[in-house]
Amino acid sequence: MLLFFLSSGLFLGWSLGANDAANVFGTAVGSKMVRFKTAAIIASIFVISGAVISGAGASHTLGKLGAVNALGGSFMTALAAGYSVYLMTKYELPVSTSQAIVGAIVGWNFFSGFVTDYKILSKIISTWVICPILSAIFAAVLYLVMRSIFNNVKIHLLMIDSLTRIGLILVGAFGAYSLGANNIANVMGVFVPSVPFREINLGFFTLSGPQQLFLIGGIAISVGIFTYSYKVMKTVGGELLKLSPQAALVVVLAESMVLFVFASQSLSDFVKSLGLPPIPLVPVSSSQAVVGAIIGIGIVRGWRNIRFQVMGKIALGWVATPIAAGVISFVGLFILQNVFGIVVAKKSVYKVEQEFVQFVSDVEIKGDFSKIEGKEFGSYKKLYNQIFPIVGEKDIAALLTSLCEEIDLELNLGKVKKLYSKGLLTREERDLFLKFKTKKFEYKYQFLMEFCRVQGCKLRNYKELREIYKKVEVYLKLLG
């Protein structure tokens, strides 16, 4: 059943590979400097690497826009986004999977009654404007620098050709890595809150649950690259603006830099350490980045070189994609829930019990919770907005809010043995859960407290609480 629900994410991954790989190697293939087969192999390897190693940052932002909390809902949002991209790809338009998944998530928010965080939404939409502009600036500067070098340094034409081919492959590999790191959130981000994958220790490397999802999504993207990306590569590489091989190199480099800027946690932390606002880690559109870069070069060459008719056709696809994805998502969720009886959204309740307030005090998190003690909240955001002013730290407020979520979990002998027989629990974990005295848990923090009691651990601060919660969160998905 899990594989069935994940199938829509795989379909979206295939659509992304079919469409967005053109943004990495489209100009190189379109200008006939790199063969399609070579481009597809390199793109596949580096897309998967980027997704697994650096894919986590941007997925957090999508989670804040709408935490799709049921597998049925994740299935339909990914399917709606994938189908929207497929339709646009069919008409050979380089559209954005980022816009498609955002539209689908907003559709889920509307259907399920969850509040859309318009602050996060506006942050994402602002990148849809900033992304092509930044890419155009990068491309214009890089193009001017490269043209100046070629005009002032005498290099044999064969040497120029050879260096350009090598450069296109190296930059394409960087672009594929950035694409995987930034856009894997579009493919698998909606499944992260609801899929119970456990950590896999490979000895030299540990694959977390989200990383396993990103690996699967990366493979789906690779299949899309091999099977359906050639036509869009030709559109990007040849129809918007005729590109020289050197210009093609600049386009891919500019696009890759933009994707990397919005995906790199290290770069964002570095900027923050300088006292500047951190760079938002948002899944931006590679399609918009590459089109922006091509336009940047077109401006340097002169406006008359740009084919505005093609540009208008692409822009129309950008506007239509999120709207289409949102409508398809809403209608699909309605059918899934009312015709097939599948749960597409869990209605969560959050309550601040006296027991929780005492627990927070024991962990030495300071704050006066008396105003919200005993009160019930209908959404995560409503409680978070109450807790944040009390504790003054976003991360602490987010964790405490999550702990107050109602779970209604009944842990019994039969369920534990069943999970063990399926290989979802180790022998040690089975024995651990058989020691639980409390059989029913109403809220997450109660399960966490029992978990600590059985293991004999004492929580003394927020950092220790956060580490334990990471483990507990995985078990809650398995046991729930």
Same domain, yes or no: 162 and 49 = yes
Q: How confident is the model at residue 59 (pLDDT cuts 50, 70, 90)?
A: low
* Whole-number Å distance between alpha carbons of 138 and 178: 16
pLDDT on residue 137:
92
Same domain, yes or no: 157 and 284 = yes
pLDDT in tens, 450-480: 888 888 888 888 888 888 887 887 787 777 6
User: Does 77 map to a domain?
Assistant: yes
Q: How confident is the model at residue 331 (pLDDT cuts 50, 70, 90)?
A: very high
**What is the sign, positive or negative, of the torsion defined by CA atoms of 40, 42, 44, 46?**
negative
Contact assessment for residue 68 and residue 78, using Cβ atoms and an 8 Å cutoff: no
pLDDT on residue 381:
77
Q: Give yes or no for residue 58 having a pLDDT over 70.
A: no
The kind and range of the H/E element at 388 are helix 380-391
Average pLDDT over residues 397-411: 85
Contact assessment for residue 275 and residue 119, using Cβ atoms and an 8 Å cutoff: no
pLDDT on residue 274:
81
* Whole-number Å distance between alpha carbons of 172 and 174: 5
User: Does 345 map to a domain?
Assistant: no
* Whole-number Å distance between alpha carbons of 102 and 424: 32
Same domain, yes or no: 388 and 308 = no
Q: Give yes or no for residue 350 having a pLDDT over 70.
A: yes
Helix 56-65 vs helix 209-228: crossing angle, to nearest 10: 100
The domain in which residue 369 lies consists of: 350-479
Final residue before a domain boundary, out of 285, 317, 340? 340
* Whole-number Å distance between alpha carbons of 196 and 475: 8
Q: Could you give the 3-state DSSP secondary structure of residue 259?
A: helix
Same domain, yes or no: 311 and 363 = no
Q: How confident is the model at residue 232 (pLDDT cuts 50, 70, 90)?
A: low
pLDDT on residue 295:
84
pLDDT on residue 334:
92
pLDDT on residue 332:
92
User: Does 12 map to a domain?
Assistant: yes
pLDDT in tens, 288-319: 888 888 888 888 877 666 677 777 777 777 78
Phi-psi domain of 113 (left: phi exceeds 0; alpha: psi -120 through 50; beta: other): left
Same domain, yes or no: 174 and 250 = yes
CA 473 to chain centre: 19
The mean of the pLDDT values for the chain is 81
Q: How many domains is the chain partitioned into structurally?
A: 2
* Whole-number Å distance between alpha carbons of 430 and 242: 63
Beta bridge partners of 377: 350
User: Does 302 map to a domain?
Assistant: yes
DSSP string, 106-173: HHHHHHHTPPP-HHHHHHHHHHHHHHHHHHHHHHHHHHHHHHHHHHHS---HHHHHHHHHHHHHHHHH
Q: How confident is the model at residue 330 (pLDDT cuts 50, 70, 90)?
A: very high
Q: Give yes or no for residue 352 having a pLDDT over 60.
A: yes
Same domain, yes or no: 42 and 165 = yes
Average pLDDT over residues 152-176: 83
User: Does 321 map to a domain?
Assistant: yes
Q: How confident is the model at residue 327 (pLDDT cuts 50, 70, 90)?
A: very high
Compute the CA torsion angle 187, 189, 194, 200 (nearest 10 deg).
Answer: 90
Same domain, yes or no: 360 and 300 = no
Final residue before a domain boundary, out of 288, 314, 340? 340
Highest mean pLDDT among 197-201, 275-279, 394-398, 429-433: 394-398
Same domain, yes or no: 355 and 423 = yes
Final residue before a domain boundary, out of 340, 363, 393? 340
Same domain, yes or no: 186 and 323 = yes
User: Residues for the chain: how many in total?
Assistant: 480
Q: How confident is the model at residue 138 (pLDDT cuts 50, 70, 90)?
A: very high
* Whole-number Å distance between alpha carbons of 128 and 318: 10
Same domain, yes or no: 449 and 335 = no
pLDDT on residue 148:
86
Same domain, yes or no: 146 and 286 = yes
Same domain, yes or no: 380 and 466 = yes
pLDDT in tens, 234-247: 665 555 556 677 78
User: Does 199 map to a domain?
Assistant: yes
User: Does 404 map to a domain?
Assistant: yes
